Amino acid sequence: MNKIYSHPRALRASSTHYCPGCGHGIAHRLVAEVIDELGIRESVIAVAPVGCAVVAYDYWDFDCSEAAHGRALAVATAIKRVRPRNIVFTYQGDGDLAAIGTNETIHAANRGEKLTVIFINNAIYGMTGGQMAPTTLLQQKTATTPLGRDAALQGYPLKISEMLALLNGVKYVERVSMHSPQEVVKAKKAIKQAFQNQIDGIGFSLVEVISPCPTYWEMPPAQALDWIKNTMLKEFPLGRIK
């Protein structure tokens, strides 16, 4: 009999704390599968975020560091410079990477650090209870935009991937989504490319993953996937940015 499924070696055999319909579990698994397929589990060093994925190191089975909120790319920069032969990546949410850590993100990218970044964009702060993220859509209601995000008061959804693509130090940027099995397959391909780039010494590579948060979008999981497809992707179109 052909074995068509097995648990990734890089993923611990534990259940996660994520809400039903959350995208983090899928994204963790994609990263783990890619690491297995590239045979790099024993040389990977991950930097986990602050946010819903704060205990990512409880789910992955390879070396991992925490970082203060927003500082993952400063921490990762140093790890990679000290250990250039290891494969170093950060896994960060939108608040972490594009609000409190914008400075660290831009400068690590601009220095062309040979890092891989998995950027989870779910347009909301999940861990703290559904507040506005830098990527929250206009009119989107959150705990801190109860009337919906108003451009006059809160500005516009921040397109940090497009901004980063302008920098010479950045070699690869792609936006992918989790809203259908087909898109998940594409997401995995992009994540693999971003790791392969580091193996090849190419430079800063980032994959933005549009990910559902049914709990704080206040909709059932299936509807959250539809909302990505019909609403969120209009603001954050998929595809290779650089």
Whole-angstrom Cα Rg for the chain:
17
Interaction between residue 163 and another protein (CB under 8 A): no
CB of 238 to another protein, least distance (A): 30
Give rounded-to-5 percent helix, strand, coil for the chain: 40, 20, 45
Quick check: 104 binds another protein (CB under 8 A)? yes
* Two tokens, residue 50: 């602050």
Q: Which is nearer to another protein, 94 or 104 (CB)?
A: 104
Q: What is the DSSP letter of 131?
A: B
Q: Does 7 bind another protein (CB under 8 A)?
A: no
* Encoded tokens for 67: 């970082």
Residues 165-224 that bind another protein (CB under 8 A): none
Work out which of 19, 36, 86, 235 binds another protein, going by CB under 8 A.
Answer: 86
Contact predicate 174/210, CB 8 Å: no
Q: Is 92 in the site for another protein (CB under 8 A)?
A: no
Q: How many CB atoms lie within 10 A of CB 240?
A: 12
Of residues 57-76, those binding another protein (CB under 8 A):
57, 60-68, 71, 74-76
Are the C-beta atoms of 167 and 109 separated by less than 8 Å? yes
Minimum distance from residue 86 beta carbon to another protein (Å) = 5
The structure tokens listed for 118 are 């998995």
Instruction: By CB under 8 A, tell whether 41 contacts another protein.
Output: yes
Binding residues (CB under 8 A) for another protein: these are 41-45, 47-48, 54-55, 57, 60-68, 71, 74-79, 81-83, 86, 103-104, 106-107
